Chains A and B, each alone.
Chain A
Amino acid sequence: MPKPFDKLTATAAPIMRSNIDTDVIIRIERLVGNSIRGTLGKWAFGSLRYLPDGSENPDFILNREPYREAEILVTGPNFGCGSSREGAVWSLQERGIRAVIGSGFGDIFFANCFQNGILPVIVDKAVVDQLAADIEATQGAGKVSIDLEAQTIVSPSGARHSFEMDPRRRDGLLKGLDEVALTLQRDDEIHAFQASDRTARPWIHSTRISA
């Protein structure tokens, strides 16, 4: 069950490079196995966070104070593009990230965020750039506030920006709804659909071959 999300005021770290893909967020070898949950936080952004010898890369923003404590990422275009690995979201979550703000995200990453109670916010690139500039002007000390109910972001400069959000998804996040349980309440409708579809498209449903 995802954790509900309503309001957050926290340190935000701008990671403005475009096309940060999910392979960069979490490397595949960290995801091979059936009991990986809880092990991923330290591997988030591994290739950016660590030098080849395994030590921390002091240039990477999440290795610097106060960004180390960031719960919000302000991201460049197309953040989370690439693979469907939900491990990318899990690793951010385990690293303490609760919201990402950008001008656009990979479609599957975006959907995976909602499944885990992470708020992805899409705003115009100009707003993202302004937020990043405001944060940097305070050297990260200025916090960013997000209010999901009101659909607003407040920048460290005090500037207020509103954002759009699918009402169904907003509701799911506010309440921390479990989609599987919700859909199972419609199981009669699923069965009714399948019964009529079996007549309309029998080739979809009879998949047992005799061979």
Chain B
Amino acid sequence: MPGRSLLEKIWDQHVIARLSEDTDLLHIDRHLLHDLGGSRGLLDLKSRGLKVHNPELTFATPDHALSTAPGRAGTSKIGQELLAALRVETAASGITLFDVDQPGQGIVHVIGPELGLSLPGATIVCGDSHTCTHGGLGALAFGIGSSELTHVLATQALIQRRPKTLRARFEGKLPLGVTAKDMILALIGQIGAAGGTGYAVEYAGSAIRALPIEGRLTICNLSIELGAKMGMVAPDEKTFEFLRGRPYAPQGEMWDRAVKAWRELPSDPDAVFDREVVIDVEKIIPQVTWGISPEHVVGVDGVIPDPKAIDDPARRAAVETALEYMGLQGGAPIAGTPVDWVFIGSCTNSRLSDLRAAAEVARGRKVAAGVRAWVVPGSENVKREAVAEGLDKIFIDAGFEWREPGCSMCLAANGEVVAPGQRSVSTSNRNFVGRQGPRARTHLASPASAAASAIAGAIADVRMMGR
């Protein structure tokens, strides 16, 4: 019998009942709720006359609809109603809520790891597709829809089909100025936005082992942009060091037992994967997207694809549509494209290490005239740590706006939008049509690249910034 993969080990440990050859009823260890779907799910449950099965395994925080303006001024009426409903319904069900201005509040996918709620070997779900982020700690984490959300509230379990497995091995030493964000964007460029559909992805290889946990979270965050609803990295000593002492991580003797169990999780050397991809990271340069899908990506020293040079009619039409939406010329270099907005934030890139990387570029420089640049920390704790280090001052001195934690302009659900036709460099995860606001044009990039672009007033190669 071949060895088992990380996915198979976690999966098997959670099977409550086998429902068919490839479908199981899985136990869910952690359920995270946010303001857009949390109260709706709890109300749905109530209307069916059901109770939350395990409130102690369920946690909530507002992030999507909340204003990130100082003092939260500008939270819309509907945003306030959602927050009020989340407070009432979580209290009634005995669910812990990390509320506004409290340590613990933040983007769900930032606070789970930060609080030690997300643990290796755990099954974690949330009504949000970027739940795959938590896989960076060696968890089996995935996004669910509203119906599945109600199902988990009612049963603490979920009916799931076992996915195929894909191992993406990143090998080599990451060049200077190249980050986890660039690694995962390069992979999406290589295998496409549907390259991972139907798979659980395990990220492995020397470059993944070398990455700090926050970088692994960034990598796993973009799994869904590969089409994979689950992405994961095997836990190792770095994972344990990251989690040790966090509020919800096990303590004392229980910690030792947990670590012992977590050491058994990594894929066996003879584990078999349905598909394997190898990426040479030494060839990766900072990435930036040019179109309306994360697979529309090039190195920052590259050129925008020219539709005239594409033979396949379907692909040519797709590129033309994307370029028209983005207001770009095929064949032109991507660097130097003037920008109106820079957004540093989102569950992809709003952790302390991301803010440090951006601040390193911004320090002592000025945001170009005509550019609005925002820094939105991922959580209340990230904000406080950043302030304690003086990062807020570096950003403010450079002309960035320093905001309160939340999803903000990643999704524009809270009214924080890029105006129609304006161009944004964003550290978030989706450059979809209208994602940052109707007819807004989004270029995805790393925090360092985004900061460099804010300073330059145009899409910029951070490696030319001389730091």
Contact = CB atoms under 8 A, between A and B. Distances in A.
Interface string A174-205: 00000110011011011001100100011111
B408 to A, nearest CB: 12
B155 A107 contact: no
Nearest to A23: B432
B197 A107 contact: yes
Nearest to B228: A107
B146 interface: yes
Interface stretch (A4-12, A27-35, A142-150): A27-35
A169 to B, nearest CB: 8
A84 interface: yes
Contacts of B53: 190
Contacts, number: 189
Contact of B119 (A82, A86, A194, A203): A203
A28 B411 contact: yes
B335 to A, nearest CB: 25
B432 A24 contact: yes
Given A32-B78, A32-B79, A108-B229, A204 B144 contact: no
A47 B65 contact: no
B171 to A, nearest CB: 27
B48 interface: yes
Contacts of A27: 434, 438
Contact of B155 (A81, A190, A208): A190
Contact of B227 (A52, A81, A116): A81
Nearest to B158: A183
A153 to B, nearest CB: 21
B306 interface: no
Interface stretch (A13-21, A55-63, A66-74, A133-141): A13-21
B229 A107 contact: yes
A30 B439 CA distance: 16
24 contacts: A17-B318, A23-B430, A23-B432, A23-B435, A24-B432, A28-B413, A52-B420, A78-B227, A83-B128, A85-B145, A87-B146, A105-B197, A108-B143, A111-B145, A112-B148, A166-B22, A183-B154, A189-B17, A193-B27, A194-B156, A203-B258, A204-B119, A205-B57, A207-B117
B155 A183 contact: yes
A166 B17 contact: no
B148 A115 contact: yes
Leading 3 A-B pairs by shortest Cβ distance: A115-B147, A203-B250, A86-B145
A201 B261 contact: yes
A116 B228 contact: no
Given A78-B197, A203-B258, A52 B439 contact: yes
Given A21-B432, A78-B197, A168 B19 contact: yes
Nearest to A125: B314
A211 interface: yes
Contacts of A207: 56-57, 117, 248
A118 to B, nearest CB: 12
Interface residues of A, number: 59
A126 interface: no
Contacts of B57: 204-205, 207
Interface in A104-123: 104-108, 111-112, 115-116
A209 B248 contact: yes
Contacts of A167: 20
A179 B151 contact: yes
Contact of A183 (B43, B85, B131, B151): B151
A201 to B, nearest CB: 7
Interface in B2-37: 16-17, 19-20, 22-23, 25, 27, 29, 36
A116 B48 CA distance: 16
B176 to A, nearest CB: 33
A165 B53 CA distance: 31
B78 A84 contact: no
Contacts of A205: 56-57
A84 B293 CA distance: 16
Given A166-B23, A203-B119, A186 B257 contact: no
A83 B413 CA distance: 13
Given A33-B78, A179-B159, A84 B144 contact: yes
B412 interface: yes
Given A78-B197, A166-B161, 12 more contacts: A18-B314, A23-B433, A24-B432, A81-B194, A82-B430, A84-B128, A84-B129, A108-B144, A179-B159, A183-B25, A183-B154, A183-B157
B367 interface: no
B224 interface: yes
Interface string B224-264: 10011100000000000000000111100011011001000
Contacts of B56: 205, 207-208
Contact of A168 (B16, B20, B36, B128): B20
A21 B197 CA distance: 13
A205 to B, nearest CB: 7
Given A21-B432, A209-B248, A180 B154 contact: yes
Interface in B131-177: 131, 143-148, 150-151, 154-157, 159, 161, 163
Contacts of A193: 16, 27
A78 B254 CA distance: 44
Given A108-B143, A189-B17, A34 B432 contact: no
A105 B198 CA distance: 9
Nearest to B438: A47
B82 A180 contact: no
Contacts of A204: 29, 57, 119, 122
Contacts of A197: 27
B433 A47 contact: yes
Q: Which of B48, B317, B435 has the most CB of A within 10 A?
A: B435
A122 B54 CA distance: 36
B155 A32 contact: no
B119 A108 contact: no
Contact of B129 (A82, A116, A166, A180): A82
